[in-house]
Chain A
Amino acid sequence: DVKVTQSSRYLVKRTGEKVFLECVQDMDHENMFWYRQDPGLGLRLIYFSYDVKMKEKGDIPEGYSVSREKKERFSLILESASTNQTSMYLCASGEGRIVQYFGAGTRLSVL
């Protein structure tokens, strides 16, 4: 009954590397989201997409970019990873205003 799949549970990267986090949903949702979760800071929205090739910045887009070439896939890109991007990254999808389904998360460590 998998609905939102993130390609990796754990990633270890080096400073300066280009990092791709992949997310796929199987519910034909228009909206997809990337959040970052840090202790004591809750979830913070990085980017979201409301349609193929459409994107909007969230609250903390600096250092990140996204790609949505197909409706079911939403990728988060760290152009040049830095240690302050070590975090848990959560992908989600939903219809309208509802962030309904989350992936299991990718814990990224940047060394």
Chain B
Amino acid sequence: AQTVTQSQPEMSVQEAETVTLSCTYDTSESDYYLFWYKQPPSRQMILVIRQEAYKQQNATENRFSVNFQKAAKSFSLKISDSQLGDAAMYFCAYTANAGKSTFGDGTTLTVKP
């Protein structure tokens, strides 16, 4: 079974600094997608960024970027120039087949002013 591990239950960052959230996964598949989702205190989950496994180039979305290491099965999220609005719980997720996404337990990010 596929597993997704987020080893950091909590992280904190100073406003305007950079923070990296870790995620590792276990799979025997070669074709899959990886995602980072953000869940602010209001609870609406938002898709932040996605990475197709066949793409070597790391995905970026404005201040959010990933470091995808396929051989190491690692998928970290880097948030640059952190803002107060980035405070949330962040979930890493994996899917190989439509509808069968596996989520990590989440990392709570605190942004200090």
Instruction: For chain B, give the interface size range.
Output: 20 to 34
Indicate whether A96 sits within 8 Å of B91 (C-beta atoms), given known contacts A88-B43, A104-B43.
no
Contact of B99 among A44, A50, A105 (CB under 8 A): A50
- Residues facing B in A13-64 (CB within 8 A) are 31, 33, 35, 40-45, 48, 50, 56, 58
For A42, list chain B residues within 8 Å (CB).
4, 91, 103-106
A41-B45 Cα distance, complex, nearest whole Å: 16
Tell me, rounded to whole Å, the shortest Cβ–Cβ distance linking A43 to chain B: 4
Question: Hey, which chain A residues are within 8 Å of B47, CB to CB?
Answer: 98-101
In the assembled complex, the CB of B77 is this many whole angstroms from the nearest CB of chain A, namely 16
Enumerate chain B residues within 8 angstroms of A92, measured Cβ to Cβ: 45
Q: Is the CB of B91 within 8 A of A45?
A: no
| Across-interface contacts of A90 in B (CB, < 8 A) | 45
Alpha-carbon distance between A19 and B76 when the two chains are bound, in angstroms: 39
What is the count of residue pairs linking A and B with beta-carbon distances less than 8 angstroms?
A: 60
Q: How far apart are the CA atoms of A96 and B101 in the complex, in Å? A: 11
In this complex, the member of A97, A101, A102 whose beta carbon has the largest number of chain B beta carbons within 10 angstroms is A97
How many angstroms from the CA of A98 to the CA of B36 in the assembled complex? 11
Do A99 and B101 have beta carbons less than 8 Å apart? yes
B55 part of interface (Cβ distance < 8 Å): no
Sampled A-B contacts (11; CB under 8 Å) = A35-B103, A40-B105, A42-B104, A56-B99, A90-B45, A96-B98, A97-B33, A98-B95, A99-B35, A102-B37, A105-B43
